[in-house]
Amino acid sequence: MLFVALGAEATTRVDGVRLWRAPDHTRLVFDLSGPVEHNLFTLENPKRVVIDVNRAQFNASLDQLNLAETPINNIRYAPRNGTDLRVVLDLSAGVKPNSFFLQRQAGASDRLVVDLNDLAPRQEGPPPVSVPEPASTRRDIIIAIDAGHGGEDPGALGPNRLQEKDVVLKIAQALAKKLNAEPGYTAKLVRTGDYYVALRERRNIARKMQADLFMSIHADAFTKPSARGASVFALSRSGATSEMARFLAQSENESDLIGGVGSVSLEDKDEVLAGVLVDLSMTATLGASLQVGDYVLQSMGQVAHLHKRQVEQAGFAVLKSPDVPSILVETGFISNPGEAKKLASASYRNTLTAQLVRGVKQYFYQFPPAGSYIAWKKSGGGGGLVTEYTISRGDTLSEIAKRFNISVNHLQQFNGINGHVIKVGQVLRIPPTT
């Protein structure tokens, strides 16, 4: 296959080579001083991938590349035809290669991207043994947690070389660990390491997981370092609810350009009917997204300064799933020195993720999916389910009772409260409804 970029008259330098391993492919990125034309092909016996780059010279080091866990045994390069460059990848296994050129974007240089897609999925350990589940099994609520950015897309940059992609992966991992420790919940990571996943593929992964909720975790930046505060966003099908929401959505939607991106089944429906079905599904999904977003935002606000006290909306591409409630959590502005310091702290991330878990649990206690363990517990199975709620500024007993569909008197008796005086930070136990 041949990819052509105009303007490659002068010799182009390969100034750097970077590598990332994903669960199903290996990505090589060649940082370039300008645009190039290139050609890629494969050879057998032994297996090799060859990349010929026109009018280019190699000016990078390969010493820091970690080829472990990749199908690449060795990388070689040499001049070709006097002015061109040939790069050879010696392989230990067969791959399906793909390559494309990316123009400079958002501070990133021109790049040549080579993806080596695995021919068969990697299998760790012995194959799983299939055990039939009993008919009475009560399923877990599945949460898909998406750490934004990754790989060659670092996301926003903070002080002391703090990168958004690293911070949000740590938050996502801590959040998944806490949710998996909760009875009735299973959390799964969309991105498990330092590699890039296309925005649309992130949504598809969540759908394949059969997720009940998709949470995309971010820590963005703004043009002014004084901007601060955590936020929760849901999809907007029209305009953004604020200029900040519009700015952040535009910034996040450009990730595919930086990262490199070369269910409701509608296959048997005509175009008009398909549009109607998607519209109906999106309406219900968006309503659920706004509801769960509010629970998460209010819970997060007990430990973090909030940029806005209501769920905002904008056209985030990663949230456009028609059948999975989806929210984007901005944990803070990494461009703000104070918030960047907090986000870099394991202690703060632990406190923050505990509140995210609390918000998720409060929502699903109120609206548990049919057939789930939480629905069974709420209906009285095993003696009912008791959850907790931490008082935040502005809360009243009557509003909390209404939120959990119980009487104020029941709430007072269950917590041994006389009168209506409550304090910020006080933890209330919420009795199961009957």
Give the rounded distance of the alpha carbon of 200 from its chain centre: 11
pLDDT tens digits for 212-230? Answer: 999 999 998 888 888 899 9
- Per the model's pLDDT, the better-predicted residue between 283 and 321 turns out to be 321
Averaged pLDDT score across all residues of the chain: 84
Give the rounded distance of the alpha carbon of 222 from its chain centre: 20
369 by Cβ neighbours in 10 Å (0-12 / 13-18 / 19+) ranks as middle
Q: How far apart are CA 405 and CA 434, in angstroms?
A: 10
Which segments of 119-203 are extended strands (E)? 141-147, 185-189
- Buried residues in 91-114 as b, exposed as e (16+ CB within 10 A): beeebebebbbbeebeebbbbbbb
- The Cα-based distances of 132 to 129, 135, 137 in angstroms read 10, 9, 10
Residue 257 has pLDDT above 90, yes or no: no
pLDDT tens digits for 141-181? Answer: 999 999 999 998 999 999 988 999 999 999 999 999 999 99
Read off φ and ψ for residue 28, nearest 5 degrees.
Answer: -110, 135
pLDDT tens digits for 7-39? Answer: 445 689 999 999 999 999 999 999 999 999 999
Which segments of 33-102 are extended strands (E)? 38-43, 48-53, 56-58, 72-80, 84-91, 95-102
pLDDT tens digits for 176-211? Answer: 999 999 999 999 999 999 999 998 899 999 999 999
Ranges 57-71, 99-113, 237-251, most confident:
57-71
Residue 382 has pLDDT above 70, yes or no: no
CA atoms 63, 64, 70, 75: torsion sign: negative
Percentage of the chain exceeding pLDDT 70: 81
Closest listed residue to residue 77, CA positions, set 93, 91, 90, 94: 90
End-to-end Cα, the chain, rounded Å: 64
pLDDT tens digits for 39-90? Answer: 999 999 999 999 999 999 999 999 989 999 999 999 999 999 989 999 999 9
Q: How many CB atoms lie within 10 A of CB 427?
A: 10
Residue 117 has pLDDT above 60, yes or no: yes
State residue 409's pLDDT score. 86
Q: Name the pLDDT band for 3 (thresholds 50, 70, 90).
A: very low
Residue 327 has pLDDT above 60, yes or no: yes
State residue 256's pLDDT score. 63
Q: How far apart are CA 77 and CA 17, in angstroms?
A: 12
pTM: 0.75
The two tokens of residue 286 are: 């968006």
Of 151-155, 261-265, 310-314, 359-363, the one with minimum mean pLDDT is 261-265
